[in-house]
């Protein structure tokens, strides 16, 4: 469970500092994210406040299928889209612009999830034996072929292949141990 989720749980259990910690941690990022929708920093600040107000008053259920940040930003996005729909009565925002914003949001959410998954992989890799970390880093992050990795690690190509296999198995086991859920 990430810190945002822990802080939200604290808030739901009656600790008001939990919500204060959430605001401190996510306020600036949420403002800049919502500014991408409304193109006005002051409106984005107001929508950010509305987003935090919603989670304080309505206390929606946090679905742990995504990270807390993704959940919070989704609430913020919906708040911004509601604002744009309501204000479109006064100023015209085309459906095309709304669709474009929704597509940008979907890409942003995928980016957040990808970044969080990479962070989980790196944390799990830190717990692996040195050779496993090294071979995974060289072959996946540095994108070296097995021959190049073998040369650097002073092993045969066959030893590298076996090391990669074992390292992947160990990484998968570590990720599962930490509660990592694979996307289908």
Say whether pTM exceeds 0.85. no
| pLDDT in the model for residue 166 | 95
| pLDDT in the model for residue 22 | 92
Q: How many helices (H) and strands (E) does the chain have?
A: 8, 0
Tens of pLDDT, residues 36-91: 788 888 999 999 999 999 999 988 888 777 778 878 888 898 899 899 888 866 55
What's the N-to-C CA distance of the chain in angstroms?
Answer: 21
Tens of pLDDT, residues 102-118: 667 666 666 666 667 77
* Ranges 3-7, 28-32, 86-90: which has the least confidence: 86-90
* Ranges 29-38, 48-57, 114-123, 137-146: which has the least confidence: 114-123
- Show the domains of the chain with their CATH numbers: 1-119 (1.10.1740.10), 126-184 (1.10.10.10)
């Amino acid at each position: 469970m990430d810190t945002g989720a822990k802080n939200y749980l604290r808030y739901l259990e009656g600790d008001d500092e939990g919500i204060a910690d959430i605001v401190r941690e996510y306020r600036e990022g949420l403002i800049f994210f919502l500014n991408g929708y409304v193109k006005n920093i002051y409106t984005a600040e107001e929508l950010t406040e509305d987003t935090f107000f919603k989670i304080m008053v309505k206390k929606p259920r946090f679905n742990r299928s995504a990270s807390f940040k993704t959940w919070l930003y989704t609430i913020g996005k919906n708040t911004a889209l509601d604002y744009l729909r309501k204000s479109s009565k006064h100023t015209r925002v085309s459906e095309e612009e709304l669709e474009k914003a929704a597509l940008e949001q979907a890409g942003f959410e995928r980016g957040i999830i990808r970044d969080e998954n990479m962070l989980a992989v790196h944390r799990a890799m830190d717990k692996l034996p040195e050779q496993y970390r090294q071979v995974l880093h060289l072959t996946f992050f540095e994108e070296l072929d097995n021959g190049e990795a073998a040369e650097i690690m002073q092993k045969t190509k066959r030893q590298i292949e076996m090391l990669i296999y074992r390292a992947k198995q160990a990484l998968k086991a570590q990720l599962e141990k930490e509660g990592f859920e694979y996307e289908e």
